[in-house]
Structure 1
Amino acid sequence: MQVWCDQLSDFVREVVQPAHAGEGVVLVGNSIGSLAALMANAALPEGTVRGTALLNCAAGMNNKAVQGDWRVRLALPLFYLIDILLKSRLGRVIFERVRQRESLRSALRGVYATAESVDDELVDLFHEPSCDEGAAEVFISIYTGNEAGPTPPEVVPLVRGPLLVLWGEEDRLTPRSGPVGRLFEALPATRPGTDFVALPACGHCPHDDRPDLVHEKLLPWMKALPAAEQPAA
């Protein structure tokens, strides 16, 4: 997670700011990308980020970030077994099974709320990186790693500026009723400048399920953001 945060921060400083001096930036992320956006917001100098928008923010890099959730606690024995299997010689065999197009298609249908979203183009988008050299090792290290990265409760207090949280109501990966969903739904009551909006008929990737609805909520919010503050000299 820290590498991704550093990449985002460097991109803002080296690419975005020189091309749009004094305008400030808006960070928008989905899932793990939301968590990376929060981290980049906290890492960048004050006044750099005008606002941050999250779409179904993830808890961390793997299930170890949400072990406080009762649903995860119930499944911990299974997760531990999967960790053991992935770290064994069976890890590559499991990876080869998971990366098959039909396996990916089945898994993605559990992520998206609409079957139309899971087309051949989307399946290929997930399958192609699995063909890269070292893909199996990366998959195994992410799933079994002990470092899940910082969690939203740790990062949110460090975030500056307006915050828009969009949440697909049919998300089964990070459900609205889970610890992260509850955190963000309650946040507007204690953090000024925060908006939480539940999106019907949307899963974990609402921008794919219902892009029109996401644009309806996101674009007016961006337009209403205050002008960028100039950092202190």
Structure 2
Amino acid sequence: LETAGVTEEELRVAVTDVLETAGAQEDQWEQRKLEKRIRDYFRKAARGLVFEGKPWHAVVNEYADCCFASLFQALGDRAWLARADFVLPLDAAVRDAFPAKVLAGIPQLDFERGILAAHDRAFEEQRFLPMLWMLIRELLPKGGRTWKKVYEAFEVGRRSAMRGKGSDEDPNQVKAFLSRWIDASIAQLSRSTSGDPAFALPETAAARLVHALLDAGALPLPLVTEQGPPPRSWPFVDYAVHAAYVARGAPAPGGD
């Protein structure tokens, strides 16, 4: 992989192009300030990365997580962010920030595929996590450890569903993805509650949370682009949640 001659100018141009393509309109920051902030997120994300003893694509994924965590923490309320494609800024930033020896010998096509995969995964995860935390705090009353257990369960569950996701063009993929996500989430919650997920999250509350997540746009963006958004108050959600609780050994209502 050729990294010689990569400059901050490439990152600057890439960020400017992303914002123009996404139609970013800012009420809070002027455009130059917004572009500088985004470039800073990419630059600062490289601080503290450990390159030794890891494959290059693992470090790229760690770096992408840091980049998009900062982006969504600062700009997650902007509608244009969901339309933005940061593949080229990520590409330029990695080639600028990573030591040349880490990237030496990587075929160009392998590098591009690694960047694209890291971008798509990290963007989706970091887009989803603030949404999940906000809705848990809004919908669940207990707080503290319960919030954290539910948050961890739905984070782990969605990551598992993303790993097993099929083609976005498959018309059955929305139901398949949602089923895997819900089942893996309740499975994780069952593990953290000694086999009683309903203790932390009753089935009705779980269904309410999933409905709210879908309404907020929690399905993967490429899947929604291909298949359209799910219907509001979708009965399949209640079916999938109930099936997950039955499968994971939740006590029946009113049972001992």
Question: What's the TM-score, normalizing by structure 1?
Answer: 0.29
**Larger RCO (CA under 8 A, 6+ residues apart):** 1
Higher strand share: 1
Question: What's the TM-score, normalizing by structure 2?
Answer: 0.27
Structure number with greater Rg is: 2
Higher helix share: 2
